[in-house]
Amino acid sequence: TADADDGEQTGFRVYRRGVAVIALCAVYLTVGWFNAHNVERTHYELTTDKELPGGSLRIAHIADSHIGTTFDGEGFGEYLEVIQAENPDVLLITGDLIDDSTPREEMLAACRQFSRISTTYGIYFVYGNHDKGYGRHGYDANELEAELAANGVTVMEDDVVQITDSVSIIGRRDRDDSRRREFVGEGAGTERMSMGEITQDIAPETYTVVLDHQPNDYDAQAEAGVDLVLSGHTHGGQLIPLGPIGRIIGANDRTYGHERRDSTDFIVTSGISDWEIDFKTGTKSEYVIIDITQENE
């Protein structure tokens, strides 16, 4: 009958829509898992009229490894070997090496991996908002810092290190330190220095690279006249549509990628891993290589 035929057609349409929804969900989940676990190389080329050692500087930049999410401490070492093959002059890490749930043994394993890296000017690290305060796992920021230092990593909190006669690294205290009194470690709950304070003794002809986990101080950094600011934290938006929403509400000065304000270059990485869930749809996992070339006068 006509009613029976209509019922069969309606049922078939519902079935097809159900299959389509399931297929789309499967694709979404597959892409999200792949983006989180597949670490890509992202390359930037910058120029400067300031002096560089030998006329160039190659920076390797990583952030947000959140050890234990998509790889453990030993797995982290495999990516460091890939980075070592890039022959960077310096490795810069902008926070969240560990995660809320990273066990002590994985923290120790991750720190040991830095002994695989050999660069001209060293390895420098600033804390993110997930690197401190997790004493329930049997360690604190003091032990993390000691383990990093034992494996050749310089931990910076509102510090300036001159790595050559013409290049300085500025490592900033994370902006959340002063707001999270439960942080465990030296300097917990301390207000961080302003950009004006931290740069006041740096010669203007020095090429300055700022490490700041959260990309939230662009106006002050541009006003201070630093040359390059590296950040992480945002995970590039992580999940659709968090990236566009973050840009609309101004959650950060930038969610991902490169921009230039006045004489300052800003780069935000989407991170080498993920946070809590090993899933990304709004971005990719990456390590960053930055080649800076001195312009001929």
- Dihedral angle over CA of 128, 42, 245, 224, nearest 10: 60
pLDDT tens profile 203-254: 999 999 999 999 999 999 999 999 999 999 988 866 666 666 666 777 789 9
Higher pLDDT, 24 or 195: 195
> What is the pairing mode between strands 56-62 and 285-294?
antiparallel
HSE-CB at 73 with a 13 A cutoff on CA atoms is 16
Which CATH code, of 3.30.450.20, 3.60.21.10, 3.40.50.720, 2.60.120.650, is assigned to 38-294?
Answer: 3.60.21.10
CA atoms of 155 and 260, how far apart (whole Å): 27
pLDDT of 236: 81
- Please, what is the angle between helix 104-113 and helix 141-150, to 10°? 30
CA 268 to CA 63: how far, in whole Å?
9
Which burial class, exposed, middle or buried, applies to 106 when counting CB atoms under 10 A from its CB (0-12, 13-18, 19+)? buried
Confidence of residue 264 (pLDDT cuts 50, 70, 90): very high
Q: Torsion over CA of 22, 27, 32 and 36, rounded to 10 degrees? A: 130
The overall average pLDDT reported for the chain is: 87
Choice between 47 and 34, residue whose per-residue pLDDT is larger: 47
pLDDT of residue 267: 99
Query: Does the CA dihedral 249-255-261-263 come out positive or negative?
Result: positive
Q: Sort strands 167-171 and 56-62 into parallel, antiparallel or unpaired.
A: unpaired
Contact 213, 232 (CB under 8 A): yes
Tell me what percent of the residues of the chain surpass a pLDDT of 90.
Answer: 62
**What's the one-letter identity of residue 297?**
E
Give tens-digit pLDDT for 122-142. 999 999 988 886 656 788 888
Residue whose tokens read 């002994």:
115
Q: Which among 87, 98, 100 has a CA at the least distance from the CA of 125?
A: 98
Q: Where are the alpha helices (DSSP H) in 168-216?
A: 195-199
What end-to-end distance do the CA atoms of the chain give, in Å?
A: 87
